[in-house]
Amino acid sequence: MNFQPNELRELRGAYEGRRVLITGGLGFIGSNLAIALVELGAAVSLVDALFPDHGGNWYNVWPVMRKVSVVVADMRDQARMLALVEGQEYIFNLAGQVSHVDSMEEPQTDLEMNCRAQLSLLEACRRRNPLAKIIYASTRQIYGRPRYLPVDEEHPLQPTDVNGIHKMAAEWYHRVYARVYGLATCSLRLTNTYGPRLRIRDARQTFLGWWIRQAVAGEEILVYGDGRQMRDFTYIDDVVRAFLLTGCRALFQGEAYNLGGCEVVALADLAALLVDLAGRGCYRLVPWPEERLAIDIGSYTGNYQRAREVLGWQPVVPLRAGLAQTLDYYRANWEHYA
């Protein structure tokens, strides 16, 4: 990770020697955050259930394997969580089920993963560690189909799928536990995040992981609809910086901050860029599959002014550079992900 000298000083001051727990720590975002926190000198513990359909992967933490403590456990296990939260100063709460399509096929499972597991963590903190700073990974999905762009935090919450409803509820649990019990919580509303350690084995989690895999393999990428849908992808290093800065600078009153990307891109242009960077493969526009169209949100771009003002955060990695680094990573580590 590249930090500005001032930022690095502040982050070291905040995390060096401090106890940090990351839930979902073997997953895409959690593992990248773990690596950065180890670099900053934190004492890092990870908890992850390693559900086979999720993004957890032992190889994700290979660079820091001997420097982190990993507990394979389900966050719904209240007794385990009571022990795990004790003494932690920061809890980055990233465990969750991220597939929108899966949430429609198995809504009860999504409820378990995104709501019950979250209550289990918050209850454990309320009983054993009410002073920990808790940063929750929320999502732009809770806004649903945008009424205006770019979407700010005041936009109505009107999720279009079960996953969005449960992530919204989980964010609200964090808010209510801050207001009623005085827990130090806040949420980051992430937009589509990409980069090394993203699950690319299938399209369950995000279409982008699948597209990255197809680009590396030189296959044909299928773009649904007219390809003019807009998105503001965030590179993983920018998301990790956002979590780290949030830990130091947020108000911790249950508030939420949008993240966003350096640039806005139409999905057909993204596919073309991937093909160009990979130097192989191609893309084609195809009609929407019914089950995906039914929960689609159209174009989305986020207004991250609040994060800029309060957290001093803004994305800095351009899409082209981020995608190039991502493709390099998967070329070099193909057998661990594909």
Considering the complex, what minimum distance in angstroms separates the CB of residue 51 from ligand NAD? 4
Out of 94, 223, 262, 311, name the contact with ligand NAD by CB under 6 A: 94
Considering the complex, what minimum distance in angstroms separates the CB of residue 249 from ligand NAD? 20
> How many other CB atoms sit within 10 Å of the CB of residue 25?
28
Nearest to 282 by CA among 291, 272, 296, 292: 272
Please give the residues from 50 up to 89 whose contact with ligand NAD meets the rule CB under 6 A.
50-51, 54-56, 74-76
Is 259 one of the binding residues for ligand NAD (CB under 6 A)? Answer: no
DSSP state of 111: H
* Binding track over 162-191 against ligand NAD, x by CB under 6 A: -----x----------------------x-
Q: Output helix, strand, coil percentages for the chain, rounded to the nearest 5.
A: 45, 15, 35
Considering the complex, what minimum distance in angstroms separates the CB of residue 192 from ligand NAD? 5
Please give the residues from 105 up to 134 whose contact with ligand NAD meets the rule CB under 6 A.
113, 117
Q: With respect to ligand NAD, which residue has the nearer C-beta, 214 or 258?
A: 258
Task: Render the burial of 39-62: b for 16+ CB within 10 Å, e for the rest.
Answer: bbebbbbbbbbeeebbbbbeebbe
Considering the complex, what minimum distance in angstroms separates the CB of residue 265 from ligand NAD? 15
Which residue(s) pair with 235 in the sheet?
Answer: 194
Euclidean distance between CA atoms 63 and 168, whole angstroms: 33
Is 199 one of the binding residues for ligand NAD (CB under 6 A)? Answer: yes
Considering the complex, what minimum distance in angstroms separates the CB of residue 175 from ligand NAD? 16
Q: Tokens 């990695």, residue?
A: 317
Please give the residues from 209 up to 248 whose contact with ligand NAD meets the rule CB under 6 A.
none
Nearest to 112 by CA among 173, 161, 166, 159: 166
Out of 15, 28, 143, 257, name the contact with ligand NAD by CB under 6 A: 28
Is 30 one of the binding residues for ligand NAD (CB under 6 A)? Answer: yes
Three-class SS state of 13: helix
Q: With respect to ligand NAD, which residue has the nearer C-beta, 192 or 305?
A: 192
- Determine the size of the site formed for ligand NAD (CB under 6 A): 32
Considering the complex, what minimum distance in angstroms separates the CB of residue 193 from ligand NAD? 4
Euclidean distance between CA atoms 40 and 21, whole angstroms: 14
Nearest to 193 by CA among 138, 121, 111, 271: 138
The CA dihedral of 325, 330, 333, 334, to the nearest 10 degrees, is -170
Considering the complex, what minimum distance in angstroms separates the CB of residue 4 from ligand NAD? 25
Euclidean distance between CA atoms 285 and 224, whole angstroms: 6
What the block records as the tokens of 2 is: 């590249």
Considering the complex, what minimum distance in angstroms separates the CB of residue 99 from ligand NAD? 9
What residues make contact with ligand NAD under the rule CB under 6 A? Answer: 24, 26-30, 47-51, 54-56, 74-76, 94-96, 98, 113, 117, 137, 139, 167, 190, 192-193, 199, 205-206
